[in-house]
Each structure stands twice: as C-alpha cells, then as structure tokens.
C-alpha cells in the first residue's frame, strides 16, 4: 500500500557498510512494494563519490547485489535510482551544509536525517544541521552505539536534545522491528491462552540468545573498544527482555509501550560487584573450525590488540524485582564465532505438580515456547502427547507458526519496517532516552568490575557455544541451554 506522505530521506554515511547492506536495500524493498510516496527522495551524503553519477555507479555495484536474491526488475530498479539526490559533503566545511540545506529545501516533504555514522559524529552533524536551520520539522535517526557508558550517552543525548525535541529523535534498535518480536506482542496481548501463564507461577526460566558465526570481520578497531556487553547486551538483549516481560500497555501508542518497557528496565535487580563472577560470564574466541572452515583467534584479528581483554561472548543471569517475575531467572547470552547463527527466546514453563502419566510429564522443559528470530522466523510451542501404540508413553511434540508458510505475504525486514515508521512518525519501536539510560545503569557495574579486575575473558574455541562457565551458571539452577538439551 503506497504511503501518501511525501518525504526527503537524508542519509549520512551514504557509502558506508550499514547503508550498503541494510538501509538502502530496505528502502528499495519499500519502493518495490509500493510503500513509498511517489515523490519521496533519498539524499545520499558522503565524501567518496564525486557526483551523482559516480554515486549511482557505487549503488549499482555495492547495493544491488544485496537486493537481487529474488531478481530485480530493471524498470523497478531504474525507478528506485531516480529517487536519489547526491550531496558531496565534508563535515568540516560549513558551506557544504548550506548546499545540503538548499537541496533539502528544494525537495520538501517530511525531513528524515539518518546518521549511519560513528557516534562521535552525531553531535557535530546535529549542530551543523541546526546552524543551517535543518533541525525544524525534521526527524533524526541515531544508530547504536549511543555512547561508551552512561556518562557519554548522557552527553550525546544532552547535546542532541538541545537541537531536536525528544519526539524528533529515533534511536534505532533493529531487533525491535523483527516480525517475531511484533508477533510476541500479538501472542501475549491478543490471546487469552498465554497471558495468564506469563508469570512466575507458571514460568520456570527464560533464555534469550543472539549468536553469531561471524567474527569481528573488518570492525576490529571498533569492536576492541566496545565488546559484546556494550555492543549487544546494553541494547538488543535488554530490549528483547523488556518486550518479553513488560506489562500489557493500555494501547499500542508509542509512549504506552515504552513506559511499560521502562518499568521492566528499572525493576532489574542491581548487580552486586561481589557477585559478578556468579551471574556474568565473559569469554573471548580462540582459533577453531566453523562448519569445516578454520578461523583465527580474536587476538590475531586486524585492528585488535594482541593482549586484548575485550569480551566477544557474554552470558548473564538477570532477575526482575516485580510482582510478576520475582524469583524467575532470565539467562541472556550473545557471542561471536559460535556454533551457529541464531537468535531466539526460550520460555520454559514449569512442569505439572503431579503426574499420573509417568515421570516424563514432570521433566523440566516438557512445556516450552521457542520464539526464533533468525535465521528462520518461527514460533514453536512444545508440549507432551501420547505416542501411538500400547501403553501410556509420552513424547514431546510441537505446534509451529512458520510465518513464511502460513502467510502468503512476504515478511517485512526489520529495517524496512523501522524506516517506514520513521517516515510516518511512529515512535513505538524506537528507544526512548530514559530506557537507554536505565539499560546503561544496569550494565555499568559489570563493565566497571571487569575493567578493575584485569582478569582476561575465559577462552572458548570458535565453533562452540562459548565458555563452559556459561553452562555451569545454568546448571546451578538445574537447567541448561536449549542446544545442550537437544
């Protein structure tokens, strides 16, 4: 369905990796699906290309391969390229921002400024936009990471907040745009079946995993100063946790949803520095083999210090101190160079208190809900059923909601949904400042203790599921990670 809202989408970092792999392919899919206003324009801002023709050559070479999996109609691609305006811009030259102002003012429509740049450039770009009057009637999209810690995050938010109002600021977390995350809200709040069970009396534990097969690739310089806790836990994992555990909002408007997420983040049990070794595991990948291919150790990657203590793996035990979730352990895990690429939420329900059918019905994990975010997006409910034949023998069976099989419409990629939300002024799936700062407050004691201890991360071989200590942490609670049970 075409959106009638005309727009001018200004993309800073127009030749960067994020623009190439995610942002421009997402805009193309929205264009191909007829979801963009006919007069909407994309203003690419960069220094690399000399002019518009050179930039379109770059788009053809670098972006088109990321959108051509199902073939690209030449006429559709030509129509997409017709949306582009290119402004060559040096951030250190105020006169270049005047050229940008002239281009944007000529195009009209809703103004969206997407900063696909490093966070150190957020404030200079925002100030330069304000200097030429481009901060009014505009929306600004900020990519993660927003700062290095709570102090730097506040500094960026304070500076950007002097230029743009909070309702103009879209802090993006692409996991919130994934279809199964949206369906989690529908599952909980649209059905009478699950919500009565979604509490401490019926849930034994919950696991949230984001695992990657890839290493740091060409991001060694960035990653070695960031680490998995800042890169993944402070944003993606804590946002997923808040979605899973929040109270029902009174509506799906932006502040109602974000108010409930904030209540969860503020209810996280603070981590006592003396207990960090019991509730937090950090690791670093060593050389190993992933699906038949040998891969190097983290310390030998380009841009990484040979004596680096930066973590590439984190596992946490988290508790929520509120009426619904008190006493339920939440296990969060993320890492690079793990055995498989997957992102999933596992809700383990408590076994029945007494079984007349035998011990299988009392087994932990007999009833569980697995919400798979990637690579294939599914929701699977496990329960027990009688095996055919003589006797009352139970076996685990599952009910599947595989979106690609059930719905004929193709799924919308996370970035596509979020970019359309920005253009249409919908804030619900973006992170509010108070949410972000609550998440920083939770992780900072862990970061500080790791920095003070000077202990190296626990080693794990690439192609495994991380350090053994992560499994031991769950074993103390009588449970295990899902792949270990299988």
In terms of residue numbers, what domain contains 30? 7-143
Angle between helices 94-107 and 122-131 (to 10 degrees): 70
Is 361 among the domain residues?
Answer: yes
d(CA 370, CA 465): 18
In this predicted structure, what is the pLDDT of residue 34? Answer: 93
In order of 22, 51, 108, 166, 174, the CA distances from 171 in angstroms are: 16, 30, 24, 10, 10
Is 49 among the domain residues?
Answer: yes
- pLDDT tens by residue, the chain, 486 residues: 455 578 999 999 999 989 999 999 999 999 999 999 999 999 999 998 889 999 999 999 999 988 877 678 999 999 999 999 999 999 888 899 999 999 999 998 899 999 999 888 999 999 999 999 999 999 999 988 788 899 999 999 999 999 999 999 999 999 899 888 888 888 888 888 888 899 999 999 999 999 999 999 888 888 999 999 999 999 999 999 999 999 999 988 889 999 999 999 999 999 999 999 999 999 999 999 998 899 999 999 999 999 999 999 999 999 999 999 999 999 999 999 999 999 999 999 998 876 766 666 556 667 899 999 888 888 888 888 878 877 777 777 888 877 667 766 667 889 999 999 999 999 999 999 999 999 999 999 999 999 998 899 999 999 999 999 999 999 999 899 999 986
Is 248 among the domain residues?
Answer: yes
Question: Do the annotations mark residue 91 as ligand-binding?
Answer: yes
In order of 149, 156, 158, 239, the CA distances from 152 in angstroms are: 5, 6, 10, 20
236 carries an active-site annotation: yes
Question: Do the annotations mark residue 433 as ligand-binding?
Answer: no
Tell whether 444 and 309 lie within a shared domain.
Answer: yes
Q: How far is CA 355 from the centre of its chain?
A: 40
Question: Do the annotations mark residue 319 as ligand-binding?
Answer: no
Helix, strand, coil percentages in the chain from 3-state DSSP, rounded to 5: 40, 20, 35
| Chain segment 462-473, per-residue pLDDT in tens | 999 999 999 999
List the catalytic residue out of 62, 236, 309, 398.
236
d(CA 432, CA 449): 27
Kindly provide the b/e burial profile for residues 203-226, where b requires at least 16 CB atoms within 10 angstroms of the residue's own CB: bbbbbbbbbbbebbeebbeebbeb
Helix ranges restricted to H, 84-121: 94-107
Q: Which of 187, 196, 172, 233 is nearest to 450 (CA)?
A: 233
Q: CB-based burial of residue 293 (10 Å sphere; 0-12 exposed, 13-18 middle, 19+ buried)?
A: exposed
Is 308 among the domain residues?
Answer: yes
Q: Which of 330, 145, 133 is nearest to 229 (CA)?
A: 145
Cβ atoms within 10 Å of 7's Cβ, excluding its own: 22
Number of domains observed in the structure of the chain: 2
Question: Do the annotations mark residue 98 as ligand-binding?
Answer: no
In this predicted structure, what is the pLDDT of residue 260? Answer: 96
Question: Do the annotations mark residue 66 as ligand-binding?
Answer: no
Q: Which of 435, 419, 445, 335 is nearest to 143 (CA)?
A: 419
Tell whether 232 and 114 lie within a shared domain.
Answer: no
In this predicted structure, what is the pLDDT of residue 1? Answer: 47
| DSSP classification of residue 198 | S
Give the three-state DSSP class for 186: helix
End-to-end CA distance of the chain: 43
Tell whether 112 and 198 lie within a shared domain.
Answer: no
Alpha-carbon radius of gyration of the chain = 24
Q: What are phi and psi of 4, to 5 degrees?
A: -85, -5
Kindly provide the b/e burial profile for residues 342-377, where b requires at least 16 CB atoms within 10 angstroms of the residue's own CB: bbbbbbbbbbeeeeeeeeeeeebbbbbbbbbbbeeb
Tell whether 380 and 477 lie within a shared domain.
Answer: yes
Give the three-state DSSP class for 346: strand
Tell whether 56 and 187 lie within a shared domain.
Answer: no
User: In which residue are the tokens 């970035």 written?
Assistant: 415
Question: Do the annotations mark residue 261 as ligand-binding?
Answer: no
Strand ranges of the sheet holding 169-171, from the earlier edge strand across to the other edge? 84-88, 41-46, 7-12, 110-115, 138-142, 169-171
Angle between helices 238-245 and 179-189 (to 10 degrees): 20
Is 50 among the domain residues?
Answer: yes
CB of 123 closer than 8 Å to CB of 156: yes
Both tokens of residue 272? 């006592």
CATH number for position 21: 3.40.50.720
Tell whether 113 and 216 lie within a shared domain.
Answer: no
CATH number for position 287: 3.30.360.10
Is 158 among the domain residues?
Answer: no
Tell whether 91 and 207 lie within a shared domain.
Answer: no
Is 84 among the domain residues?
Answer: yes
Question: Do the annotations mark residue 333 as ligand-binding?
Answer: no
In this predicted structure, what is the pLDDT of residue 367? Answer: 87
Beta-bridge mates of residue 9:
42, 112
Question: Do the annotations mark residue 336 as ligand-binding?
Answer: yes
Question: Do the annotations mark residue 174 as ligand-binding?
Answer: yes
d(CA 169, CA 260): 19
Tell whether 206 and 136 lie within a shared domain.
Answer: no
Tell whether 400 and 349 lie within a shared domain.
Answer: yes
Q: Cis peptide before 145, with omega less than 30 degrees from 0? A: yes
Domain end residue (candidates: 97, 118, 143):
143
d(CA 186, CA 237): 20
d(CA 341, CA 39): 39
d(CA 131, CA 267): 41
327: enclosing H helix or E strand: none
Tell whether 242 and 105 lie within a shared domain.
Answer: no
Is 122 among the domain residues?
Answer: yes
CB of 476 closer than 8 Å to CB of 275: no
Tell whether 190 and 125 lie within a shared domain.
Answer: no
d(CA 244, CA 349): 14
**Interior CA angle at 41 toward 35 and 42, to 5°?**
100
Q: Which of 238, 119, 123, 150 is nearest to 437 (CA)?
A: 150
Tell whether 320 and 462 lie within a shared domain.
Answer: yes
| DSSP classification of residue 336 | S
The Cβ-side half-sphere exposure at 109, using a 13 Å CA radius, reads: 23
CB of 466 closer than 8 Å to CB of 460: yes
d(CA 330, CA 315): 10
d(CA 15, CA 45): 8
């Amino acid at each position: 369905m075409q959106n009638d809202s005309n727009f001018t989408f200004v993309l800073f970092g127009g030749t960067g990796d994020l623009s190439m792999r995610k942002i421009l392919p997402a805009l193309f899919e929205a264009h191909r699906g007829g979801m963009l206003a006919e007069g909407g324009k994309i203003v690419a801002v960069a220094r690399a290309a000399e002019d518009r023709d050179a930039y379109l050559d770059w788009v053809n070479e670098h972006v088109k391969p990321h959108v051509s999996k199902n073939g690209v109609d030449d006429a559709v691609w030509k129509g997409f390229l017709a949306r582009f305006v290119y402004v060559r811009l040096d951030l250190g030259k105020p006169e270049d921002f005047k050229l940008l102002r002239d281009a944007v003012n000529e195009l009209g429509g809703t103004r969206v400024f997407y900063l696909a740049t490093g966070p150190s450039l957020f404030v200079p770009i925002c100030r330069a936009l304000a200097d030429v009057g481009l901060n009014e009637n505009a929306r600004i999209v900020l990519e993660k990471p927003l700062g290095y810690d709570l102090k730097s995050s506040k500094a960026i938010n304070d500076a950007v907040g002097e230029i743009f109002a909070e309702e103009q600021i879209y802090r993006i977390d692409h996991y919130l745009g994934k279809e199964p995350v949206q369906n989690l809200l529908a599952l909980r709040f649209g059905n009478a079946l699950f919500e009565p069970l979604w509490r401490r009396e019926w849930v034994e534990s919950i696991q949230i995993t984001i695992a990657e097969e890839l290493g740091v690739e060409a991001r060694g310089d960035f990653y070695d100063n960031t680490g998995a806790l800042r890169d993944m836990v402070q944003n993606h994992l804590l946002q997923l946790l808040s979605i899973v555990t929040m109270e029902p909002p009174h509506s799906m408007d932006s502040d109602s949803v974000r108010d409930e997420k904030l209540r969860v983040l503020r209810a996280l049990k603070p981590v006592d520095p003396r207990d960090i070794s019991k509730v937090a595991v950090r690791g670093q990948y060593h050389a190993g083999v992933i699906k038949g291919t040998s891969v190097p150790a983290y310390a030998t990657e380009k841009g990484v210090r040979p004596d680096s203590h930066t973590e590439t793996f984190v596992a946490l035990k988290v508790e929520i101190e509120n009426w619904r979730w008190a006493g339920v352990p939440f296990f969060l895990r993320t890492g690079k160079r793990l055995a498989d690429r997957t992102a999933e939420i596992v809700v383990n329900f408590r076994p029945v208190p007494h079984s007349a059918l035998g011990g299988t019905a009392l087994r932990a994990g007999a009833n569980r809900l697995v919400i798979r975010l990637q690579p294939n997006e599914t929701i699977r409910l496990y329960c027990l059923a009688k095996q055919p034949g003589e006797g009352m023998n139970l076996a685990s069976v599952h009910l599947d909601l595989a979106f690609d099989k059930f719905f004929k419409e193709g799924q919308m990629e996370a970035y596509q949904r979020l970019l359309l939300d920005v253009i249409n002024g919908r804030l619900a799936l973006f992170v509010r400042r108070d949410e972000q700062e609550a998440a920083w407050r939770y992780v900072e004691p862990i970061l500080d203790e790791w920095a003070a201890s000077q202990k190296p991360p626990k080693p794990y071989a690439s192609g495994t599921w991380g350090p053994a200590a992560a499994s031991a942490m769950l074993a103390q609670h009588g449970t295990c990670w899902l792949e270990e049970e299988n």
